[in-house]
Every structure is written in C-alpha cells, then in structure tokens.
Amino acid sequence: MNSIKNAFLSLLFFCCALASAAQNGQREKIIIDTDIGDDIDDAFAVALALRSPELQILGISTTFGDTETRAKLVDRMLGEAGREDIPVAVGIHTETKTNFGQRPYADGGQRFWGATFDPSGLYRFIAAMDWLDATRTTIEDVHRHSTRLQKHFLDLVRQLARQMLSPA
C-alpha cells in the first residue's frame, strides 16, 4: 500500500511540474533517478518523460541494488527510443534481497558511465567542437578573439585605475 501511495504522490508531483512548465511555455529541465527493473512504474515514468515535449531530460541515474544492471536497462530503453543523447549514470551499488525480474531486458545496454564519472564536460566539448566545425571557426580564430577580449579588459582596468587614482 505504501508503494502505491508513493507512486501516486510521485505522479501527482510530476503532473504539477508538467502543468507549470506548460504554462511558462518552456521545457522543464529534469534529471531522473530511478530503481527501474523491479516494477513497471519506473519504466512508465521514463517513457512518459521521454514523450513529454514539456521536459528536457538532462540525464538518468540509477539507484538501489544492482545499479549497473539498472543502468543497462535504462540504456537499452533509451536506445530503443532513439534517445542515445541522454546520458546514463550508475548509482552506488547496495545489497538487497529483492527479485530483479527485468534483468534479462538489460542485455544490450552498454552506454553508461560509473557513478563517479561526470560526462557533462565531454558533451560540452563535443558540442563546442561541432559548433566550431559548423561555423568554420578555427582554434586560431578563437585565440585571436580571446586575446582581443583580454587586451580590451586590461585597457578598461588601466583606464578605471587612472580615473580612481587621479586627483579630482
């Protein structure tokens, strides 16, 4: 009964967040932390989030028990949905005696990282390199621009220092 109550409260909170995002006309950025694989509720919640235009899923992490297999399960689900762009992180493994009934469906899910790896820097680097390629901007162009910005900043600091230190 407690799990049904928790699932209902989670669904209610989720619907309120969706309604709020829809009113603002912007996508709500979320990270999903799931113990997918024991019951169907988490799979439904992830599927709903994947199909919700109001949401931008920044990543999915796994929790409770065999978190590596859970991450494989999430990764396989994302692959089947064509959403390999969403990173999957493995939570900390915990000992449990529950039956992990969905374990066979995890086969084929391999695109996840360990609990201590933060892939966001890698994704930003790849996005930046893709942008440089698309705009035909070279590293030398970036260097020249940043050097100009630094010179301009230092000129402004010198000018401000002269104004502040000069007698009025």
Q: Kindly tell me if the per-residue pLDDT of 156 is higher than 80.
A: yes
Q: For residue 68, tell me if it sits in a domain.
A: yes
How sure is the predictor about 57, in pLDDT bands with cuts at 50, 70 and 90? very high
* Position 158 in a domain: no
Range of the domain at 105: 2-117
Rounded (to 5) percent helix, strand, coil in the chain: 55, 10, 35
- Does residue 96 belong to any structural domain of this protein? yes
User: What was the pLDDT predicted at 86?
Assistant: 92
- Structure confidence by residue, pLDDT tens digits, 84-100: 899 998 888 888 777 66
How does pLDDT run across 71-84, given as a tens digit for each residue?
888 988 898 888 98
- Assess if residue 129 is contained within a domain: no
**CA–CA gap between residue 81 and residue 46 (Å, rounded):** 11
- Which residue is it, tokens 């992180």? 89
Q: How many domains does the chain have?
A: 1
Cα separation, 34 vs 60, in Å, equals: 7
Give pLDDT tens digits for 26-44: 888 989 999 888 777 888 8
